[in-house]
Amino acid sequence: MKIHTKAVHAGDRKKAQSQIPVATPVHFAASWITEDTAELDRIFGDEQKGFSYSRYDNPTNAALEELMTSLESGAGALACASGMAALEHALKAALLDRRKSVVCARDIYGATIKLLMDVLGPFGIETAFVDTNDLAAVAQALDEHKPGALLMETISNPLLRVGALDEIAKLCRARSAALIVDNTFASPLLMRPLELGAHLVVHSTTKYLGGHGDTLGGLVISDEEHLATVRRLSRVAGPVLGPMEAFLTMRGVKTFALRMERQCHNARALAAWLRAHPRVAAVYYPDDPAHPDAAVVRRLLPEGLYGGMVSFEIAGLERTGIFAFLDRLKLIVKATSLGDVHTMVLHPWISSHRDVPMKQKERMGIKENLVRLSVGIEAVEDIISDLEQALA
């Protein structure tokens, strides 16, 4: 079944009674009554499927988890309260029976770096950063640090690098390291990391999957090997999503493939327009034949679908010039997120990558005049008009 079809059918319409709601209801219950205590005993013991307590499982969350398991070709999933909660949970599940160290892609979301350094670091989890676009460097880092897990993004935030996930999966598997992939930027329309050999996939569903800027959430989609650990740890640690958010996310997911296609087409048109603009010094978008990862892009991304994010540098502008440019935008929403139906702009230097140490920002290639656009579903001419007047 194609992903567009799965997105509108999977997870919903459980045959628990003769009238079946077309959409999964929001189950606002902290716990369930089971008349037969022997049955409750089987549910607690995982011998029978059923619901007992919402920290363990909730029917609305279960529907979303089933949907995302289907879209990402996983064995199962866990809906979490945010993308960061999902990342932390995936790392804990991967490292539980492995060495407590991580090799992390150098090009990655700023808060992910902080999660590793400031949250997990003090608990003894060591992190080494590597350029995941250099396979020899990845192999060397794996051999040197012998990490329990390697963490990377499919399309990196904010410079849109695309690593050879399939090759990296082979390197990890040969060394028994778990490969955890944040697939937020690509979405399962563009890439399905579990099909390429990853062990755990993470999403911030706050972005493309939710898509409407109205709900925070995250998901861990697991392979067979890690699923029991993902679910077991969550029962105790309780990083779970609320049922209302699960409902909203699921509603968003139904249209994500359509939105994503439109966003990819708009982003491609915008990247071409920006490249031709005299005030634009550099454009980062994976359709560029001169993109440093062009060969990987051709191999791993579907033809014509290179994501809805475009980053660019404005020539000759420092901090205050960038601020003035941002303040001139009228249609494009200045807000700290991405993947929504409306086009959004962000200044990585002061927001998503604000706390990344200066040296690391330099190594990543993030400059003060870099602007990151999350392209929406509007008519692309209107987005261009807004950029044109703000760049003038």
Ligand X SMILES: Cc1ncc(COP(=O)(O)O)c(C=O)c1O
Which residues are catalytic, by number? 55, 109, 182, 207
Q: Applying CB under 6 A, which of residues 11, 76, 83, 147 lies at the interface with ligand X?
A: 83
Residue 153 touching ligand X (CB under 6 A):
yes
Instruction: Give 197 or 213: the residue with its C-beta nearer to ligand X.
Output: 213
Instruction: Give 70 or 184: the residue with its C-beta nearer to ligand X.
Output: 184
| Number of residues lying near ligand X (CB under 6 A) | 14
- Span from 127-135, 182-190, 276-284, 378-386 in contact with ligand X (CB under 6 A): 182-190
Residue 158 touching ligand X (CB under 6 A):
no
- Span from 80-88, 129-137, 283-291, 375-383 in contact with ligand X (CB under 6 A): 80-88
- Span from 17-25, 179-187, 188-196, 244-252 in contact with ligand X (CB under 6 A): 179-187
Q: CB 140 → ligand X: shortest distance, Å?
A: 25
Q: CB 85 → ligand X: shortest distance, Å?
A: 7
Residue 213 touching ligand X (CB under 6 A):
no
User: What are the structure tokens assigned to 238, written together?
Assistant: 């309780």
Residue 129 touching ligand X (CB under 6 A):
no
Task: Determine how β-strand 309-314 pairs with β-strand 333-334.
Answer: unpaired
What is the Cα–Cα distance from 203 to 188, expressed in whole angstroms? 10
Q: Which residue is nearest to ligand X (CB)?
A: 83
Q: CB 301 → ligand X: shortest distance, Å?
A: 16
CB 356 within 8 A of CB 366: yes
Task: Give the rounded distance of the alpha carbon of 105 from its chain centre.
Answer: 14
Q: Which strands form 178-182's sheet, in the order they lie side by side?
A: 76-80, 218-222, 200-204, 178-182, 149-153, 101-105, 126-130
Calculate the alpha carbon distances from 387 to 12, 180, 274, 314, 348 in Å.
41, 36, 9, 12, 18
What is the Cα–Cα distance from 27 to 260, expressed in whole angstroms? 29
Q: CB 182 → ligand X: shortest distance, Å?
A: 5
Q: Applying CB under 6 A, which of residues 182, 223, 293, 340 lies at the interface with ligand X?
A: 182
Residue type, 328: R
- Cα dihedral 234, 239, 243, 245 sign: negative
Residue 204 touching ligand X (CB under 6 A):
yes
Q: Applying CB under 6 A, which of residues 69, 184, 249, 343 lies at the interface with ligand X?
A: 184
Listing DSSP states for 164-217 in one string gives -HHHHHHHHHHTTPEEEEE-TTTHHHH--GGGGT-SEEEEETTTTTT-SSS---
Residue 208 touching ligand X (CB under 6 A):
no
User: What are the structure tokens assigned to 378, written together?
Assistant: 């509007």
Contact partners, residue 57, CB within 8 Å, separation at least 6: 51
Residue type, 369: N
Q: Applying CB under 6 A, which of residues 56, 109, 208, 256 lies at the interface with ligand X?
A: 109
DSSP structure class, residue 82:
S
Instruction: Give 152 or 317: the residue with its C-beta nearer to ligand X.
Output: 152
Residue 216 touching ligand X (CB under 6 A):
yes
56 beta partners: none
What is the contact surface with ligand X in residues (CB under 6 A)? 82-84, 109, 111, 153, 157, 182, 184-185, 204, 206, 216, 218
